[in-house]
Structure 1
Amino acid sequence: MKKAIKASALGAFALSVLLGAAAPSAAVELRFAVGSPPNSLGDKAANHFKDKLEEYSNGETTVKVYPLSLLNLLESNNGIRDGIADIATVLWPYFLSEYPETNLIAEAASMSELLEGDRQQATLAYLGAMIEYVAMHCPECQAEAKAQNQVFLAGLGTSSYVLQCMKPVSSYEDLQGLRVRAGGAWWSRWLTGMGASPVSLSINETFEGLNQGILDCTASNPGDMTQFGFIDVISDVTVGVPGSSFAFAIADINLDTWTSLSEEQRGHVLHAAAAISGDGIMAYFHDGRENVEEKAPARGIAIHQADDDLLARSREWIAADLDALAASYEERFGIENAKGKLENLRKLVDEWMPRMEGIDDRDALAQVLWENVYSKLDVKTYGM
């Protein structure tokens, strides 16, 4: 009799385990901290992530977006690490000592300027390669995120930078001695190499710097013209230089949150990660193109093309800087085989060029990223 009762109890336990395994995962709400204000590009991208994640999970996994209220961009890295938010944007160049391996790849965005063909296609090819490299081919990048109690989810990057100025600039001679806001180390080096004087100002101080005559120009992506109001003060825009893209993580997730999700939920999150990258990247391109081709001319702002001599000097400088970049990171951060890593990245960029041909909307870009990166990640082990 006791044996029968024991067998019955074991059978009931086994059934409960099977039913538990088959049962749907518990509903989850994730907190997404956006370091930019409501209705900004970052806020819109986060809300697109929210919508797609809820769609993919049939409402099981939801997201609450906090634009510039839970964490700002300087607080985001520690905020994710400490669990203040589940997901947030991490601007890698703001945290150079924490992410040297990842920043090596981000700072190599200028290689897109050396590719022949369509500029948008070339920049998109770099961004696709960057996302693939960090997610799939860089255990050191993964280790850097893990050390911050994070998992890399979604990469983002801007369209090529342009000069937004208070005077006409189109030649190497025009640049000599100009005070230009540099948004990162690469642009500071480029400006120095072209004879200008880089000025370090936050993006939020740049409008006043231009308006008060502290700056002659800002080297910024063309989307920032309206995002930060530069269109209200500048008189001239120069396209073709300095180029390069500001690459970063639009979404990293807290490692504890990630491990608490079921494998199915992680799959949904990765699918939504492809969507947020597609949305944010294309927003930069579309906003920038509209600003340069329509909004700026409508304000009477003159649009200049960098002349052939300046373009040639710039390309020559970019090639030399890329050669020096690997040695610099090896010396400063002890990175091993940095040159080989950049060569591997360049091979990926070449692979991504045909994939990005004709890509000009967020859904198409998200699909390419899903097919070539996110769908290939193993939800059982990724980020662990």
Structure 2
Amino acid sequence: MFHLKPAAGAAAFAISASVSALAATPALAAENLRFAIGWPPGSSAEASTQHFADVAAEESGGDLQVKVYPLSLLNFLESTSGVRDGVADLTTVLTPYFITEFPEMNYATELASLAELEDGDPARNVMAYNGALMEYIFFDCPDCQAELEAQNHVYLTGSGSQSYFLQCTRPVSSVEDLQGLRVRAGGAFWARWATAMGATAVSMSINETFEGLSQGVVDCVAASAPELTNFGFIDVVTDMTPGVPGGSFVSGVAQMNRERWGEMSEANKVALLKASAALSAQGVYSYYEVGNANMAMAREKGVAIHEPSAELVEKTKAWIQADAEALGATYAERFGLKDAEAKLAKLRELMAKWSGLTAGVETEAQLRRIYWDNLHSKIDVATYGQ
């Protein structure tokens, strides 16, 4: 079994020093790794994953060579079994697609909606919740680590989207507009929101959603702004409503085959963790920048952008608060989740901590340093994932 060592004071200095020493140690043999992602070629996610590969090569002195496979070796639905069985060495796991395999992680992922209740720009709050979720999984959730072990995975890092909003083929701005509307929901949180607002939640893969919108199978998709170009939604949606439903898709952006991780030298594990911190920061920050660019592009293309009514905003925020408090009972009944109240309290505590840590972040480099200093550098590579 693995052990994690959250560090403080002198211990933090010792770990930092040992990590630096390991990073400088020559690797004994070359490592070639396959990183399969479900996003298509040319997406911002592919660029972020290639950044991971570049940093891994740099930090290992060229010993780590990571080849990125965008929507070829594995799709999103094949990601968990593909890495478990060694088809790929690394993948992005969108845990809401695998709620039975990862109930503990899904519980924490669904609570990303807590960021909607924080002050500030919702598009930036995901920087904080992503940090909070990573800290929770690394250091505060042994049940999360147990389910990762059961799937033969090692969690290396997380990343997240901007806040989700409605992207539709018709105008939507009020509770009345949502009645009976078919909304593609990429996870249980958005499905529950749609149902609570009087809409109909539709489950389909993100890779099938463009066709679903264009053929009228769904009226709206709840998605973040980068998906307008990542999946081509900008070519089919006519109306958008920022602000609702909210929530972010924060998930395991790099999970690794456990045996493959165990075979690696400690120096190369450190290099992968440095690449993981870079991937998280680049993913979150590039989504922020691409999202802003996509909103401008949508306006130029004539997509109508609607303000949600005050009633819809208030109803959504009240629902988010109530849903967070009720979620633990649902997970306890369906999946046997224990100590839900304590886990919710811990995540709220971490969200407050990370809101402070990420306040004023203006560059990707700043965010990368914050993630590395507070998270990845504190992992004991000699025992983690063993």
| TM-score past 0.5 threshold | yes
1:73 pairs with 76, 97, 107, which one?
A: 76
Deviation of the 1:270 alpha carbon: 0.6
* Cα separation, 2, equivalents of 1:333 and 1:181: 24
Matched, 1:363 2:365: yes
2:302 pairs with 300, 303, 310, which one?
A: 300
* Cα separation, 2, equivalents of 1:123 and 1:338: 22
Name the counterpart of 1:339. 341
Given that residues 35 and 42 in structure 1 are in contact (C-alpha distance below 8 angstroms), is that contact kept between their aligned partners in structure 2?
no
Amino acid at match of 1:262: S
Name the counterpart of 2:376. 374
Matched, 1:234 2:237: yes
Name the counterpart of 1:180. 183
- 3-state SS of 1:241 partner: strand
Given that residues 327 and 339 in structure 1 are in contact (C-alpha distance below 8 angstroms), is that contact kept between their aligned partners in structure 2?
no
- 3-state SS of 1:379 partner: coil
Q: Who wins on radius of gyration, i.e. which is larger?
A: 1
- Provide, for residues 304-357 of structure 1, a one-character-per-residue CA deviation record: whole Å limited to 9, x for no partner: 121222111100011111111011111111111012101101100000002112
Amino acid at match of 2:371: L
* Cα separation, 2, equivalents of 1:310 and 1:213: 24
Name the counterpart of 1:328. 330
Q: Which has the higher contact order (CA 8 A, sep 6+)?
A: 2
Given that residues 27 and 267 in structure 2 are in contact (C-alpha distance below 8 angstroms), is that contact kept between their aligned partners in structure 1?
no
User: Could you say if the C-alpha distance between residues 310 and 261 of structure 1 is closer, same or farther in structure 2, counting changes exceeding 3 Å?
Assistant: same
Matches within 5 A, 1:10-29: 24-29=27-32
Given that residues 124 and 288 in structure 2 are in contact (C-alpha distance below 8 angstroms), is that contact kept between their aligned partners in structure 1?
no
Matches within 5 A, 1:96-245: 96-245=99-248
- 3-state SS of 2:101 partner: coil
* Cα separation, 1, equivalents of 2:258 and 2:132: 24
Deviation of the 1:268 alpha carbon: 0.9
Name the counterpart of 1:19. none
Relative to the length of structure 1, the TM-score reads 0.91
Deviation of the 1:23 alpha carbon: 6.4
- 3-state SS of 2:156 partner: strand
* Cα separation, 1, equivalents of 2:313 and 2:26: 61
* Cα separation, 2, equivalents of 1:223 and 1:23: 39
2:286 pairs with 283, 292, 295, which one?
A: 283
- Provide, for residues 116-165 of structure 1, a one-character-per-residue CA deviation record: whole Å limited to 9, x for no partner: 22223322211110111111211111111111111101111110001111
Given that residues 49 and 276 in structure 1 are in contact (C-alpha distance below 8 angstroms), is that contact kept between their aligned partners in structure 2?
yes
- Provide, for residues 180-233 of structure 1, a one-character-per-residue CA deviation record: whole Å limited to 9, x for no partner: 211111101101111112222222222222222332211111111111111112
CA RMSD of aligned residues (A): 1.5
User: Could you say if the C-alpha distance between residues 173 and 282 of structure 1 is closer, same or farther in structure 2, counting changes exceeding 3 Å?
Assistant: same
- 3-state SS of 2:45 partner: helix
* Cα separation, 1, equivalents of 2:215 and 2:71: 27
User: Could you say if the C-alpha distance between residues 172 and 376 of structure 1 is closer, same or farther in structure 2, counting changes exceeding 3 Å?
Assistant: same
Name the counterpart of 2:3. none
Matched, 1:252 2:227: no
Question: How many pairs are equivalent?
Answer: 362
2:85 pairs with 67, 74, 82, which one?
A: 82
Structure 2: runs of 5 or more not aligned:
1-24
User: Could you say if the C-alpha distance between residues 82 and 303 of structure 1 is closer, same or farther in structure 2, counting changes exceeding 3 Å?
Assistant: same
Amino acid at match of 2:304: A
Relative to the length of structure 2, the TM-score reads 0.90
My pick for the range that moved more, 360-369 or 82-91, is 360-369
